[in-house]
Amino acid sequence: MRTDETQGDQGVFSISEENQRDVSATCTEKPGLYREKDSHGCRITNETLIEGLVNEMRTDETQGDQGVFSISEENQRYVSATCIEKPGLYREKDSHGSRITNETLIEETQHSSNYPPANPYGGGYTSYGYGGGYGNPYQQNPAAQMMQGMMGMMMPAMHTMPPSTQTVVINNNVWNTNNALMSAAKVEELLAQKMQEDEDFMARLKSNYVANLKRHLDMDGTLEPTEGTVKGFTHYPEDDPMVVFMNEFDGTPLAGERWDAESDCIFLDKAMDGAGTNEDAIIHVIANRTNAQRQKIKKKFKTAYGEDLIERLDSELSGDFLETVMALFVPPAHYDAWCIKEAIYGPGTDESVLIEIFGTRTPKQIQEIRAVYGDVASPNRKSGETLIEQDIEDDTSGDFKRFLISACQGGRNELDPETLEEAVEPVLFEDKPTGQFIINMEKLVNVAKAKRDAQKLFEVTEDQLGTDEEEMIRIFALPEVYQSRATYDEYVKLTQRDVENTIDRETSGNFGKGLLTMVMALKCRPKYFAERLVWCMKGLGTHDSDLIRVIVSRAEIDMVQIKECFLEMTKQTLWNWIDQDCSGDYCKILKAIVGQN
């Protein structure tokens, strides 16, 4: 609703096309200007074209062609000049005789000018010229007043209304002004509340993001994205062999259904039933389920058939294929504990297994291994978490023993939650949060400490005759992963030599191998395991137990990244190496786990 500068007290009322769907009854006018009067003869003047502020315009059943014009409380702040009304219905007549009834109190906003201020009857001068700046029928616009004055030189004057009407309108003006102030305060309060809600929402998003990062760090030992090749099985696709089997078995329409451990149990039972074993069916199920899902299958099978699935599989399978299947059905911490027990209790000590596990597992994973090692290594007698240390002390010696005792504590410093929280920063677009976050890696590390540790490492290795192995263990075993990486970077700047090169020069034997493994894992676990897989299959023969352990233990963690590193090293895929190096059902299940793509 705005003033038309050329038509004095006339104005134009506009409703945007977008909002017309909300208007149930409107005034019909021919193109041109729109004139309105209230019950006191006041005119409405508004210099702002109001679009999108109309909530409702309806026909009043008792008033014929009258309607209701409403502006929401939330949108009142957009109205720059309005008419003052007393409580009750507010009637206005346009130039065509149509009527609008307004039940809402609309706040008044007045504009300054060089002329006297707007009078309390709803009219007045505006800062944008005359153009209908009066809403009082007893007034005329300045141009008209000047033309009526003697020789057109009389300055415009403010006329008054009858005293009775004047009193009513002044009272209404006071009431309306107070209400406008209250409305403005409410809008400000709602705005502050909305901003606080937005801040709380972003804080919750950030908190969830940080929590996911922490879980990822505990599992994978890094904040960088990693991905396994074995993922949770959710639905049975139409081309799944189990769909065909269940349809033939009992008519169950399995296609598109959610994963069900019972269906897997039926399929496995039939694969081992009767003469011979359907190894392909066993591979299809076991290689495409996560470890957690396999635990459910194992439990459900015993309930359904009163028989242990592991014992049943053990009686049906053999060789490396059996070892792989057994490894897949053991929880990760128990499997690592079993591998450590085999490395220590077997004929001789397999130091490479101890180095691999203790040098690459995260602190949380090592703590889980310690918790279950006693049950795995000595199930017939009570033993605490210290049993693993006792076994290491009994089976190793020297610097290598100190390295393993240090590593098996699972006591490496972890990234401080407050530090991680501070390092996570929101991604902004036009200075507004997008709901996404980025990690500022510089905030994760203490550069001064990294420089001190690099200097100390240089002093106990390259800068003296002999090597202080105990100090080396401290420097390599304690700092968390990103602090360690910063130390290695500072060491290169200081000595122009890589940390691995110094370890090769200053240490030897299993102690040196252990330190190298630890450093390589802290820098890039997928690269270390890719090199480990090359070692397993390179040359004559295959280190099958090591190959099985690496593939099974990394299948759900970072096998995708391991395959990428493997391809970069060998220029061949891991799937192709396995296909050439292994055979039979053992080869099939390993290829099914790592995937061809």
Residue 433 has pLDDT above 70, yes or no: yes
| pLDDT of the residue at 254 | 86
Top-ranked range on mean pLDDT: pick from 128-137, 201-210, 298-307: 298-307
Note the pLDDT tens digit of each residue in 365-388. 999 999 999 999 887 765 667 789
Read off the pLDDT band of 17 (50, 70, 90).
low
Per-position DSSP letters for 480-520, written without gaps between them: -HHHHHHHHHHHHHHHSS-HHHHHHHH--HHHHHHHHHHHH
Whether the pLDDT of residue 80 is over 50: the answer is: no
Listed ranges 83-97, 202-216, 501-515; the one with the highest mean pLDDT:
501-515
Q: Which pLDDT value is given to residue 24?
A: 36
pLDDT band at 75 (very low <50, low <70, confident <90, very high): very low
Indicate if 21 and 114 belong to the same structural domain.
yes
- Mean pLDDT over residues 342-365, rounded? 94
Q: How confident is the model at residue 9 (pLDDT cuts 50, 70, 90)?
A: very low
pLDDT at 250: 82
Specify the higher pLDDT residue, 226 or 159.
Answer: 226
pLDDT classification of 201: cutoffs 50, 70, 90: confident
Half-sphere exposure of 29 (CA within 13 A, CB side): 21
Mean pLDDT, range 274-285, rounded to an integer: 92
Q: What is the pLDDT of residue 178?
A: 62
CATH number at residue 263: 1.10.220.10
Structure confidence at residue 183 (pLDDT): 73
Q: Between these two residues, 71 and 51, which has the higher pLDDT value?
A: 71
Residue 595: pLDDT over 60? yes
Q: How confident is the model at residue 186 (pLDDT cuts 50, 70, 90)?
A: confident
Residues 154 and 275 in one domain: no
Residue 35 and residue 68 in contact, taking contact as beta carbons nearer than 8 Å? no
Judge if 116 and 255 occupy the same domain: no
Residue 200 lies inside a defined structural domain of this protein: no
By percentage, how much of the chain surpasses pLDDT 70? 68
Domain end among 161, 190, 209: 161
Is 198 or 70 the better-scoring residue by pLDDT? 198
| Position 121 confidence tier, pLDDT thresholds 50, 70, 90 | very low
Q: Are residues 152 and 233 in the same domain?
A: no
Section 197-209 average pLDDT: 85
Contact call for residues 83 and 118 (beta carbons, < 8 A):
no
Q: Is the pLDDT of residue 565 over 70?
A: yes
Has residue 228 got a pLDDT over 50?
A: yes
C-alpha angle 511/562/513, rounded to 5°? 5
Quote the CA–CA distance of 498 and 483 in Å, as a whole number: 16
Final residue belonging to a domain, choices 250, 284, 317: 317
Residues above pLDDT 90, as percent of the chain: 54
As for how many domains the chain has, the answer is: 2
Least trusted range by pLDDT, from 107-111, 529-533, 539-543, 574-578: 107-111
- Residue of 363, 366, 385 whose CA lies nearest to 376: 385
Q: Which of 57, 227, 337, 326 is nearest to 594 (CA)?
A: 227
Asked whether residue 9 falls in the same domain as residue 88, the answer is yes
Mean pLDDT of 315-323: 97
Assess whether 18 and 147 both reside in one domain. Answer: yes
pTM (2 d.p.): 0.68
Q: Which residues contact 144 (CB under 8 A, 6 or more apart)?
A: 8
- Residue 64 resides in a domain: yes
| Whole-number pLDDT of residue 432 | 83
Average pLDDT over residues 194-207: 81
In a domain, 304, yes or no: yes
pLDDT at 246: 85
Containing structural domain, residue 270: 227-317
SS3 for 293? helix
Q: Which residue has the higher pLDDT, 580 or 175?
A: 580
**Same domain membership, residue 25 and residue 147:** yes
Flag whether 263 is in a domain.
Answer: yes
Residue that terminates a domain, selected from 161, 180, 210: 161
69: which residues sit within 8 A by CB, 6+ positions away?
54, 57, 100, 101, 102, 104
pLDDT of residue 450: 97
| Between 462 and 124, residue with greater pLDDT | 462
Give the residue, 305 or 153, on which the prediction is more confident: 305
Which tokens belong to 74?
């939330």
Which range has the worst mean pLDDT, 130-139, 197-206, 309-318, 348-357? 130-139
- Asked if 156 and 279 sit in the same domain, the reply is no
The residue ranking higher by pLDDT, 418 or 19, is: 418
> Is the pLDDT confidence value at 19 over 60?
no
Q: Given 3-state DSSP classes, what are the helix, strand and coil percentages for the chain, each rounded to the nearest 5?
A: 55, 5, 40
Residue that the structure tokens 């309930």 belong to: 303
The whole-number pLDDT of residue 247 equals 84
pLDDT tens for each residue of 164-181? 444 554 455 555 656 666
Residues 156, 272 within the same domain: no
pLDDT at 172: 56
Average pLDDT over residues 270-297: 94
In the DSSP assignment, the letter for residue 276 is S
2 with 150, same domain: the answer is yes
Q: Is residue 62 part of a domain?
A: yes
Q: Are residues 19 and 114 in the same domain?
A: yes
In this prediction, residues 501-508 reach a mean pLDDT of 95
Q: Which of 265-274, 301-310, 383-392, 494-503 has the lowest mean pLDDT?
A: 383-392
Q: What is the largest CA-CA distance in the chain?
A: 125
Q: What is the pLDDT of residue 175?
A: 53
Query: Between 239 and 127, where is the model more confident?
Result: 239
Higher pLDDT, 103 or 441: 441
Distance CA 560, CA 565 (A): 9
In a domain? residue 538: no
Mean pLDDT of the chain: 77
pLDDT at res. 174: 54
The answer to whether residue 273 is domain-embedded is: yes
Residue 312: inside a domain, yes or no?
yes
Examine the pLDDT at 117 and tell me if it is beyond 60: no
Q: Is 407's pLDDT higher than 90?
A: yes
545: pLDDT strictly greater than 60? yes
pLDDT of 290 above 60: yes
Phi and psi at 432, nearest 5°, equal -120, 140
